[in-house]
Amino acid sequence: MDRIPILKMGRYLLVTIQVDLLDQTALALQDDLSERIAATAAQGVLIDISALEIVDSFVGRILASISGISAIMGATLVVVGMQPAVAITLVELGLSLDGVRTALDVERGMALLNADGASRSDH
């Protein structure tokens, strides 16, 4: 079974999804990601889904729950590069992913994480 690679870049974890997300792969990603957040004490997680062209309600729900898990473990989740068709599908499915932060591309997502990290270190 395919596993989605999780890369560590400084204080952040980087996940780029390049294949169609099957239910099993999505569940495995959720497991792996929570392990890695705990192991590396990451401050932020960036998921790039620009190559993802099809989503269903299950994958949408997994995204929402990954966001919840990261929030509980103290990491900010940013989802970047969502395709128009994917966004429309999620809205039609009624999944507005309210807690999830979004950005247009990886660069802007990183900027968002950095800004977040900076404001956190202020306190």
Which residues here bind other proteins, judged by CB under 8 A? 79-84, 86-88, 90-92, 96-97, 100, 102-105, 108-109
Comparison of 18 and 24: residue with beta carbon closer to other proteins: 18
At 62, the amino acid letter reads: I
| Token couple for 6 | 């999780």
Q: Which residues are 77's β-sheet partners? A: 45
As given in the structure block, the two tokens for residue 45 are: 């997680």
Q: How far is the CB of 113 from other proteins (least distance, A)?
A: 13
For residue 79, the minimal CB distance to other proteins (Å) is 8
d(CA 18, CA 51): 5
DSSP structure class, residue 108: H
Residue 4 to residue 16: CA distance in whole angstroms: 8
**CB nearer other proteins, residue 9 or residue 91:** 91
CB of 41 to other proteins, least distance (A): 26
Q: Which amino acid is at 47?
A: I
Q: Among residues 28 and 64, whose Cβ is nearest to other proteins?
A: 64
Q: CA-based Rg of the chain, rounded to a whole angstrom?
A: 14
Residue closer to other proteins (CB basis): 36 or 108: 108
CB of 96 to other proteins, least distance (A): 5
